[in-house]
Chain A
Amino acid sequence: MTAEHIDINHIAALCRIDLSDEERKTLPGQIDAMLAYVQQLKAVDVQGVEPTLHALELSNVLREDKPGENFPVGTALMNAPEQRNNQIVVPRIVE
């Protein structure tokens, strides 16, 4: 069984997390160990087996599309780190 080596910089970029130099050193070894542990799943015969997305058989239940109560804007924005005129403030995105 081939061992997997994670490209930590690539994956950290995909999930938008900056890592410290220390984390860049310690994380790959820990992740590799977990991937090696997970390799044992290859021993299971899964030919013709359907993947489980949810434990219970669920079908899509549609409800009537009618407006309910919503938050006032002030409530919806009460946890925004920066806001102005009922809008969330972010740094300039388009030059």
Chain B
Amino acid sequence: MEKLFFKSVEDLSKMLAQKSISSVELTRIFLQRIKTVEPKVQAFLSLDEEKSLRQAEASDERRSRGQALSPLDGIPVGMKDVIAEKGQPLTCASKILEHYVSPYDATVTERLHRAGAVLVGRLNMDEFAMGSSTENSAYQKTRNPWNLEYVPGGSSGGSAAAVCAGEVPLALGSDTGGSIRQPALCCGITGLKPTYGLVSRYGLSALASSLDQIGPFARNVADLGLLLQVIAGHDDRDSTSCNVKIPNYSQFITKQQPCRIGIPEEYFSDGIDLEVRQAIENAITFYRKNGYSIVDISLPHTPYAVPVYYVVMTAEASSNLARFDGIRYSSRSSMATNATDIYFKSREEGFGAEVKRRIILGTYVLSSDHLDAYYVRAQKVRTRIREDFAKAFETVDVILSPTSPTTAFKLGEKINDPLLMYLSDIHTVSVNLAGLPGLSLPCGFSKAGLPIGFQLIGKAFHESELLSVAYQFERVHDFVQRFPMVA
């Protein structure tokens, strides 16, 4: 059998439609692939084979009646373990949710069910999505399929690694400061953080509510559009969900529209690896030669994005994670002797080092003595960052930058230096602060064989433009057709 697990969703969907393969056969192939590579990659926290095969059977049944629900009907999809799926674990890679089982489906899960997708299992991540390497998981360290000594990025490292290694053709992740785009870059696949409000957050365990978005991972841009199509759209159950018209992304992707691409000087500072800079400059040259106008722009408040982010995100996180109290639905310490003790001891035992660090920083910046100096000031600088983008988008349609200043780094390299780890997000956090869509696309490999990627940033709700610009690059390069030799 040829390597079906590296085929595009478009191809697999065609095969299912032509009945040259059934969803049950396809699901078995992916489950087998998972068994083969998981001892090395360790992307999955849990699998439900029986349920997956039942969903696959139901899909085959629908197809035999000519009633396929969508192009994703019968296609396996992986879920970051931060998105609720009824009856499945939802650990957020934390000890405090070790025994938690979701009583309900997230809106995106419901939408995947309605599209006929086969949900095979739950993917590893940094605990409560706090991290850029997936090393903060309380359970296991996911490896980069291109080189097992390296991290897959984070926090959605399990989702990126699973798609990269051919364990699933599609996965969902969440992105608060770069947690989809940076792992997509590290693993050499595509990932999209949608505009804030495009995808419902109902059923997503909250890290920082004003920044979080669920988004797709895929092997290529067309597949990315297929998954976005399923999850995008208004939802009454998320008060920040926007009621906008959802375009047919697939129709837009292959159309080249006139487009001005902005290159922000602040994103090309000295801190960028030489190989990364070279690959990005090649991409810019490609666009210039292919009918796009390239415009130099400035986003002057870029240097303040990481400090703003670490104030706003930790403040919101400290508030959101107050719900894990050991009383209602998280693990309760057996050491507690009175009610207050339950909070202190359950949270001490249940949270890992990075989570504690961020809750404490967030509590500090929100405490009455420091509120104005940190939190309110950070929110004002956030306004400045938004204004920078608004001004830039008066003269350009899309902004192109590196996704991260480096390729994937080695396991253990940054884990003991929180500040150094935070700087992995230097090119992605502004996009969340401004609520804009951002897409990461592979554009090369380093001499060490690790993927390089660039980021496209768009105007709010202009995802179709990002997909189209990315597709024009992807279709004449072979970066997404290279596969890691995991097993």
Instruction: List residues of chain A with CB under 8 Å of any chain B CB.
Output: 4, 6, 8, 11-12, 14-20, 23, 27, 30-31, 33-35, 37-38, 40-42, 44, 46, 49-56, 58, 61, 63, 71, 75-76, 78-82, 88, 90-93
Residues of chain B from 337 to 383 with CB closer than 8 A to chain A in the complex: 337-345, 347-348, 351, 353, 356-357, 359-364, 367, 370, 374, 376-383
Instruction: Tell me which of B105-113, B119-127, B275-283, B302-310 binds A.
Output: B302-310
Residue of A nearest to B423 (CB): A37
Q: Is the beta-carbon distance between B101 and A79 smaller than 8 angstroms?
A: yes
Q: Is the beta-carbon distance between A38 and B310 smaller than 8 angstroms?
A: yes
Question: In the complex, what's the smallest C-beta–C-beta distance from B85 to chain A, in angstroms?
Answer: 14
Interface secondary structure of B, over-half rule: helix
Q: Which chain B residues border A37 with CB–CB below 8 Å?
A: 307, 310, 419
Question: In the complex, what's the smallest C-beta–C-beta distance from A43 to chain B, in angstroms?
Answer: 8
Q: How far is the CA of A54 from the CA of B242 in the complex (A)?
A: 13
Q: How far is the CA of A31 from the CA of B380 in the complex (A)?
A: 22
Residue of A nearest to B363 (CB): A15
Q: Which chain A residues border B311 with CB–CB below 8 Å?
A: 38, 41
Q: Is B405 an interface residue (CB 8 A)?
A: no
| Interface mask (B195-207 → A, CB under 8 Å = 1, otherwise 0) | 1110000000000
Q: Is the beta-carbon distance between B101 and A78 smaller than 8 angstroms?
A: yes
Q: Is B332 an interface residue (CB 8 A)?
A: yes
Residue of A nearest to B389 (CB): A55
Could you list 28 A-B pairs, sorted by A, with CB under 8 Å? A8-B360, A11-B360, A11-B363, A16-B344, A17-B344, A17-B347, A17-B351, A18-B345, A18-B348, A27-B357, A30-B357, A33-B419, A34-B418, A35-B374, A37-B419, A41-B308, A41-B311, A46-B377, A51-B379, A52-B433, A53-B210, A55-B386, A55-B433, A71-B104, A78-B101, A79-B103, A82-B332, A91-B336
Q: Is B301 an interface residue (CB 8 A)?
A: yes
**Cβ-defined partner of A51 (8 Å) among B353, B383, B419:** B383
Residue of B nearest to A26 (CB): B353
Question: In the complex, what's the smallest C-beta–C-beta distance from A89 to chain B, in angstroms?
Answer: 9
Q: Which chain B residues border A34 with CB–CB below 8 Å?
A: 310, 361, 418-419
Q: Which chain B residues border A50 with CB–CB below 8 Å?
A: 380, 383
Q: Is the beta-carbon distance between A16 and B347 smaller than 8 angstroms?
A: yes
Question: In the complex, what's the smallest C-beta–C-beta distance from A57 to chain B, in angstroms?
Answer: 10
Q: Which chain A residues border B101 with CB–CB below 8 Å?
A: 78-79
Q: Is the beta-carbon distance between B435 and A17 smaller than 8 angstroms?
A: no
Instruction: Tell me which of B29-37, B150-158, B321-329 binds A.
Output: B321-329
**Cβ-defined partner of B103 (8 Å) among A20, A42, A78:** A78
Q: How far is the CA of A37 from the CA of B421 in the complex (A)?
A: 14
Closest 3 CB pairs of A and B: A55-B435, A51-B379, A81-B332
Residue of A nearest to B329 (CB): A79
Q: Which chain A residues border B339 with CB–CB below 8 Å?
A: 90-93
Residue of A nearest to B379 (CB): A51
**Cβ-defined partner of B322 (8 Å) among A15, A38, A51, A55:** A15
Known contacts A17-B351, A37-B307; A51/B380 CB under 8 A: yes
**Cβ-defined partner of A44 (8 Å) among B341, B357, B384:** B384
Q: Is the beta-carbon distance between B376 and A31 smaller than 8 angstroms?
A: no
Q: Is the beta-carbon distance between B357 and A6 smaller than 8 angstroms?
A: no
Q: How far is the CA of A91 from the CA of B308 in the complex (A)?
A: 41
**Cβ-defined partner of B196 (8 Å) among A8, A42, A56:** A56
Question: In the complex, what's the smallest C-beta–C-beta distance from A34 to chain B, in angstroms?
Answer: 6
Residues of chain B from 187 to 218 with CB closer than 8 A to chain A in the complex: 195-197, 210-211
Q: Is the beta-carbon distance between A52 and B382 smaller than 8 angstroms?
A: yes
Q: Is B460 an interface residue (CB 8 A)?
A: yes
Q: How far is the CA of A54 from the CA of B197 in the complex (A)?
A: 10
- 19 further A-B pairs in the complex, CB-CB below 8 A; given A38-B374, A53-B379, A91-B336: A11-B363, A14-B363, A16-B347, A19-B348, A30-B357, A46-B380, A49-B380, A50-B380, A51-B379, A54-B435, A56-B196, A58-B240, A71-B104, A78-B103, A79-B99, A79-B330, A80-B328, A91-B339, A91-B342
Q: Is B331 an interface residue (CB 8 A)?
A: yes
| Interface mask (B283-320 → A, CB under 8 Å = 1, otherwise 0) | 00000000000000000010110011011000000100
Q: Is B139 an interface residue (CB 8 A)?
A: no
With most chain A CB atoms within 10 A of its CB, the pick from B344, B351, B380, B419 is B380
Q: How far is the CA of A27 from the CA of B352 in the complex (A)?
A: 13
Q: How far is the CA of A58 from the CA of B435 in the complex (A)?
A: 12
Q: Is B395 an interface residue (CB 8 A)?
A: no
Q: Is B411 an interface residue (CB 8 A)?
A: no
Q: Is the beta-carbon distance between B361 and A31 smaller than 8 angstroms?
A: yes
**Cβ-defined partner of A81 (8 Å) among B240, B331, B337, B338:** B331
Residue of B nearest to A17 (CB): B347
Q: Which chain B residues border A16 with CB–CB below 8 Å?
A: 322, 325, 340, 343-344, 347
| Interface mask (B83-123 → A, CB under 8 Å = 1, otherwise 0) | 00000000000000001110110000000000000000000
Q: Is the beta-carbon distance between B434 and A55 smaller than 8 angstroms?
A: yes
Q: How far is the CA of A17 from the CA of B363 in the complex (A)?
A: 11
